[in-house]
């Protein structure tokens, strides 16, 4: 597998990603960590869409968040702050900059989108300044955590090149492959495998779903377009198949239903969504934890409708 062993590598084994994270060492269960991962990915996507950011910028923000939690713990760094900071930094990395004020306002309004009264508090100067200051503090921690490594590649370009070189005209194959990539972004696969492996796995499954035969005869083998090793490619395809076709019906399981006490805000101030404590980032965390769930996938269901249903459910999540 494409697991990085050298210091500073952003690629780890499945075991390291799912069982050896800092969050797990701090007592955050696997189901809860997976649910938090799904939630911050949805939040980043929603904020990015409201900011009218391109998909590549949103993808970069998600990868930044995944990388942050490879080195830092959910128990000490609340996802609301980290996700907001990742959007802000990603907009600069991808040369699609958004002002600090705009990011602070949109993130706050997105967090409180089901409570308009609370959302309007961001219009108060004191509240806005607090959020802006916290994002800047969070950016410092994010930069030190990722060691100022802005080299983030995505599977979209390798997929595009392969589709052109292989002469695959079916638009459905391309669209399903892109949908697969977008959904894989929400998982630990992006810290297990390099982008060209995810692109290759997405093309393989997209072709399979659309009954399109990929060239495999001598002289033109489809996976050669991605410069991948067959064994590692098989590993990524297996995990993607588990994720989307029901062998492991729900890799992102809902966390246990919180007790009434657990549903209370962890801070009492009504005008602070994000705050910091020393070198860790803290934020209000009374979002509906039970809302973060993954729909079981029926193997007999067409993939495109399954992805659409799962995405619709994710878009209906209530953050606050």
CATH of the domain at 278: 1.10.472.10
How many domains does the structure of the chain reveal?
2
Binning pLDDT at 50, 70 and 90, where does residue 217 land?
confident
Residues 163 and 75 both lie in one domain: no
Q: What integer pLDDT is reported at residue 169 of this predicted model?
A: 85
Residue 305 lies in a domain: no
Residues 160 and 147 both lie in one domain: no
pTM of the entire predicted model? 0.77
Residues 279 and 214 both lie in one domain: no
Residue 234 lies in a domain: yes
Residue 5 lies in a domain: no
Region 134-138: mean pLDDT is 97
- Reduced to 3 DSSP states, what percent helix, strand and coil does the chain have, rounded to the nearest 5? 60, 5, 40
How many C-beta atoms surround the C-beta of residue 124 within 10 A?
A: 11
> Which of 18-32, 84-98, 111-125, 245-259 ranks highest by mean pLDDT?
84-98
User: Is the pLDDT reported for residue 136 higher than 50?
Assistant: yes
How many C-beta atoms surround the C-beta of residue 312 within 10 A?
A: 10
User: Is the pLDDT reported for residue 205 higher than 50?
Assistant: yes
- Structure-block tokens of residue 159: 């997929």
d(CA 171, CA 214): 15
Higher pLDDT, 135 or 265: 135
Binning pLDDT at 50, 70 and 90, where does residue 207 land?
very high
Given 245, 264, 282, which residue is the final one in a domain? 245
| Residue 100 contacts residue 136 (beta carbons within 8 Å) | yes
Residues 53 and 128 both lie in one domain: yes
Q: What integer pLDDT is reported at residue 307 of this predicted model?
A: 37
Given 191, 211, 245, which residue is the final one in a domain? 245
Binning pLDDT at 50, 70 and 90, where does residue 320 land?
low
Q: What integer pLDDT is reported at residue 319 of this predicted model?
A: 60
pLDDT tens-digit readout, 151-174:
999 999 999 999 999 998 889 999
Residues 176 and 135 both lie in one domain: no
Q: 């800047």: which residue's tokens?
A: 136
Segments forming the whole domain that contains residue 199: 156-245
Closest by alpha carbon to 98, among 111, 112, 114, 87?
87
d(CA 192, CA 235): 10
Higher pLDDT, 275 or 208: 208
Higher pLDDT, 319 or 314: 319
d(CA 231, CA 6): 21
Residues 71 and 170 both lie in one domain: no
User: Is the pLDDT reported for residue 284 higher than 50?
Assistant: no
Residues 142 and 161 both lie in one domain: no
Region 205-214: mean pLDDT is 93
The contacts of residue 137 (CB under 8 Å, 6+ apart) are 276, 281
User: Is the pLDDT reported for residue 246 higher than 60?
Assistant: no
Region 22-41: mean pLDDT is 95
- Structure-block tokens of residue 24: 């797990």
Closest by alpha carbon to 84, among 114, 64, 55?
64
Given 245, 277, 306, which residue is the final one in a domain? 245
Residues 175 and 287 both lie in one domain: no
How many C-beta atoms surround the C-beta of residue 170 within 10 A?
A: 14
Residue 303 lies in a domain: no
Residues 140 and 51 both lie in one domain: yes
For 226, which DSSP code?
G
d(CA 127, CA 115): 16
Higher pLDDT, 294 or 97: 97
In 94-155, which residue ranges form alpha helices assigned H by DSSP?
Answer: 100-111, 116-119, 125-145
With left for phi above 0 and alpha for psi between -120 and 50, is residue 52 left, alpha or beta? left
Residues 124 and 75 both lie in one domain: yes
Residues 22 and 100 both lie in one domain: yes
Residue 177 lies in a domain: yes
Residue 138 lies in a domain: yes
d(CA 272, CA 284): 7
Residues 88 and 113 both lie in one domain: yes
């Amino acid at each position: 597998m494409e697991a990085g062993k050298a210091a500073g590598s952003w690629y780890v084994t499945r075991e390291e990603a799912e069982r050896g994270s800092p969050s797990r060492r701090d007592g955050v269960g696997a189901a809860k960590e997976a649910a938090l991962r799904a939630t911050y990915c949805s939040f980043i996507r929603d904020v990015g869409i409201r900011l009218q950011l391109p998909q590549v910028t949103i993808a970069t923000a998600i990868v930044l968040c995944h990388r942050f939690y490879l080195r830092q713990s959910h128990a000490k760094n609340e996802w609301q702050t980290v996700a907001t900071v990742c959007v802000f930094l990603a907009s600069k990395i991808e040369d699609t900059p958004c002002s600090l004020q705009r990011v602070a306002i949109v993130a706050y309004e997105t967090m409180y989108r089901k409570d308009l009264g609370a959302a309007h508090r961001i219009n108060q100067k004191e509240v806005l300044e607090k959020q802006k200051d916290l994002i800047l503090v969070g950016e410092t921690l994010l930069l030190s955590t990722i060691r100022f490594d802005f080299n983030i590649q995505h599977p979209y370009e390798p997929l595009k090149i392969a589709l052109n070189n292989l002469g695959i005209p079916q638009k459905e194959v391309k669209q399903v492959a892109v949908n697969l990539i977008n959904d894989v972004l929400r998982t630990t696969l992006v810290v297990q495998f390099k982008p060209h492996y995810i692109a290759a796995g997405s093309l393989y499954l997209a072709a399979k779903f659309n009954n399109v035969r990929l060239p495999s005869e001598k002289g033109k083998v489809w996976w050669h377009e991605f410069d991948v090793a067959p064994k590692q490619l098989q590993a990524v395809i297996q995990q993607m198949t588990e994720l989307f076709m029901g062998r492991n019906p729900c890799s992102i399981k809902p966390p246990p239903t919180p007790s009434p006490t657990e549903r209370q805000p962890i801070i009492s101030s009504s005008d602070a969504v994000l705050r910091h404590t020393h070198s860790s980032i803290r934020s209000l965390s009374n979002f509906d934890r039970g809302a973060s769930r993954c729909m079981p996938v029926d193997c007999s269901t067409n993939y495109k409708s399954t992805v659409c249903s799962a995405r619709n459910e994710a878009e209906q999540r209530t953050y606050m």
